[in-house]
Structure 1
Amino acid sequence: MPVPSPYALLLSNVMVREASVSVLDSSTSYWDYGPPNADTVVVAVHGFRGEHHGLDPVVAHLSGIRVISPDLPGFGESEPLRDLTHDIAGYTAWLRAFIEALGLHAPVILGHSFGSIVVSAAVAGGVEASKVILVNPIAAPALSGPNGFLSRLTLLYYRAGRALPPKLGGALLSNWLIVRFMSLLLAQSPDRDLRRWVHDQHHTYFSRYATRDSVVEGFEASISADVSQFAPSITAPTLLIGADRDPITTVDAQRRLVELFPDARLEIIPAVGHLIHYEKPREAASAIVEFLGDGAVAVSEAAA
């Protein structure tokens, strides 16, 4: 049985329209939340091996703002890229084409975790954004520093999953214990019910990728770059929403990162790790609303 979402009531109050669009000759599925005539439009890019559902808790707390949340190519309901590799260049080309396909002009662009790299690369490469929001930004190279060994070990895991025969490789990449280990590593909340829901989300959505090639290429992309490489070229006002317990990016790395942007500020949310979108979505929404100067933070009737 699925574990009930603690944000279900709030999310049920948000208008949502599901659609798909052809982008670079493949289909991208996306979910369009909030008032269609809102003054502020946010394009939200989720993290590696996730899909749009992961950002739903943040969306649920945003009132009066339109959020367009696609599944990345090769994940969730979106088809993989046909003629491009699932690397930073490929994802950047996809994001540019997706925004153009929807006829959006300089939207606010938000990225979480790996999405922060995709968004940063795209905006640095010329994709127009009125503002940029990076949640749990990847601030430093994955293959160096304290997580370098684990990143290399994980790369071997993904490449083994691709090299094995299809049945064995697929079983390895979707292995329940591997998913649970990842979830246990990232979840920080002391709330047992919330942690149970987080684990259920990872088990439900973490293995919804199109092909082994697309997921392995995606991981290779996630460790091949970081936001610091693109920050100096991003002139749009930028908000970094970091965490004080993030096992992937330290607070010191986040503070160094914000100094690389021409116009950026950093908000550190306490008592949370790399899952701000699951564990502290209200706090993230509050920072977003203040930064945008538009919308409001939604409050459920139960909490009011």
Structure 2
Amino acid sequence: MPDMTATEVVDLFRRPPQRLVDVGAGSVAYRRVGDGPDVLFVHGWPVSGATFRSLLPHLAAHVTCHVVDLPGAGSSRFDATTELSVARHIRTVRALPDLLGLDDLAVVGHDSGGLIARHALAADPRVRAMALLNTEQPAGLNGRFRAFLAASRLPGFAAGLGWAVGSPRIRRQPLVLGGAFADRRLLDGEFDEFFLRPLHRIPARRRAAVRVLRSFEPRLVHELAALHARIDVPVRLVWGDRDPFFPLAWAERMVPTFPRADLVTVPGAGLFVHEERPREVAAALLPVLTAEPGRPPVPDGRPTHG
């Protein structure tokens, strides 16, 4: 397949999705690009599949990228009666291989998308490999994450969230989204267009995001170590080293909880490592995403631990 330009991929997410997939609780928006082994991409909170827009041009010549917007996010379809929760997202992702006709796939999950992917597809025999980008760790939730979850329960949180993300000055503060990027200017531009502006301007999207956040259960983090023991496929962790939400030191401790895992550190990147350093992240991912089943990852992603 010819290389896709960054502009072509961004435009893909500005257009309606190629398909809407009924998952029994709303509809997932689905986009497919690339050629080669199948890879499913699972986004985190409060973004959508468009978070992978900078990464896809570096992957599409090598793998087929199946990118979804979970209900409540992006171009998905939902209403006030739709069940929106992390637990429901787990069931949705568990159903996606059947719904999309994928019988041999790798999975890439970022942030809570990595948590969702692990709970949904651990020990699924169709999964040949997994890649996790700055996501929840068995060590638990750090103070900043716990404070954010506690704040989500306060009256007026939804309105406050909409106001905060709509202000370039406020959203750059450390206790808001300041830790999402090492370069806080990246909170503007396309990140604002795809994720923050809708939260600021569209009440239904804001309410949906808050419903999902409030549904987060700490037990899902506490269960990770046991879950990891069941993921007996190559797992590559790719980590921005300046992430204040999911500390690099905890990621290093997570590596031996998997039967076959390693860690690639990306210096000078925050939580959204794949948006800040897409070329480096793609180089780390491709050996795992393209490896034949049963073989270990090709060791050219420069893992720092494993």
Alignment correspondent of 1:100: 98
Aligned AA (2:182): Q
Alignment correspondent of 2:213: 219
Alignment correspondent of 2:294: none
Aligned AA (2:177): S
Asked if structure 2 preserves the Cα contact closer than 8 Å seen for 1:159 and 1:216, the reply is no
Superposition pairs of residues 2-21 of structure 1, within 5 angstroms: 9-12=5-8, 18-21=18-21
Asked if structure 2 preserves the Cα contact closer than 8 Å seen for 1:19 and 1:31, the reply is yes
Deviation at 1:266, TM superposition (A): 1.1
Asked if structure 2 preserves the Cα contact closer than 8 Å seen for 1:183 and 1:199, the reply is no
Asked if structure 2 preserves the Cα contact closer than 8 Å seen for 1:151 and 1:223, the reply is no
Alignment correspondent of 1:292: 289
Return closer, same or farther for 1:151/1:232 CA change in 2, 3 Å cut-off.
Answer: same
Asked if structure 2 preserves the Cα contact closer than 8 Å seen for 1:44 and 1:68, the reply is yes
Task: State the distance in 1 between where 2:140 and 2:78 align.
Answer: 24
Greater RCO structure (CA 8 Å; 6+ sep) = 1
Deviation at 1:239, TM superposition (A): 1.0
Alignment correspondent of 1:155: 149
Asked if structure 1 preserves the Cα contact closer than 8 Å seen for 2:69 and 2:75, the reply is yes
- 1:172 paired with 2:160, answer yes
SS in 2 for 1:184: coil
Alignment correspondent of 2:45: 48
Aligned AA (2:69): D
Superposition pairs of residues 15-164 of structure 1, within 5 angstroms: 18-34=18-34, 38-62=35-59, 63-80=61-78, 84=83, 86-87=85-86, 89-124=87-122, 126=124, 128-140=126-138, 143=141, 147-148=142-143, 150-160=144-154, 163-164=155-156
Aligned AA (1:284): V
Task: State the distance in 2 between where 1:210 and 1:77 align.
Answer: 12
Deviation at 1:198, TM superposition (A): 6.3
Alignment correspondent of 1:297: none
Deviation at 1:214, TM superposition (A): 3.6
Alignment correspondent of 2:228: 231
Alignment correspondent of 1:197: 189
**Unpaired stretches in structure 2, ≥5 consecutive residues:** 292-306
- In the alignment of these two chains, the number of paired residues is 271
Q: Structure 2 length normalisation: TM-score?
A: 0.77
Q: Structure 1 length normalisation: TM-score?
A: 0.77
Task: State the distance in 2 between where 1:124 and 1:41 align.
Answer: 17
Aligned AA (1:41): D
**Unpaired stretches in structure 1, ≥5 consecutive residues:** 1-7, 295-304
Deviation at 1:124, TM superposition (A): 2.3
Task: State the distance in 1 between where 2:187 and 2:152 align.
Answer: 26
Return closer, same or farther for 1:292/1:75 CA change in 2, 3 Å cut-off.
Answer: closer
Task: State the distance in 2 between where 1:218 and 1:71 align.
Answer: 14
Deviation at 1:237, TM superposition (A): 1.5
Asked if structure 2 preserves the Cα contact closer than 8 Å seen for 1:133 and 1:241, the reply is yes
**RMSD of aligned C-alpha atoms?**
3.0
**More displaced stretch, 107-116 vs 19-28:** 19-28
Asked if structure 1 preserves the Cα contact closer than 8 Å seen for 2:63 and 2:289, the reply is no
Return closer, same or farther for 1:212/1:183 CA change in 2, 3 Å cut-off.
Answer: closer
SS in 2 for 1:289: helix
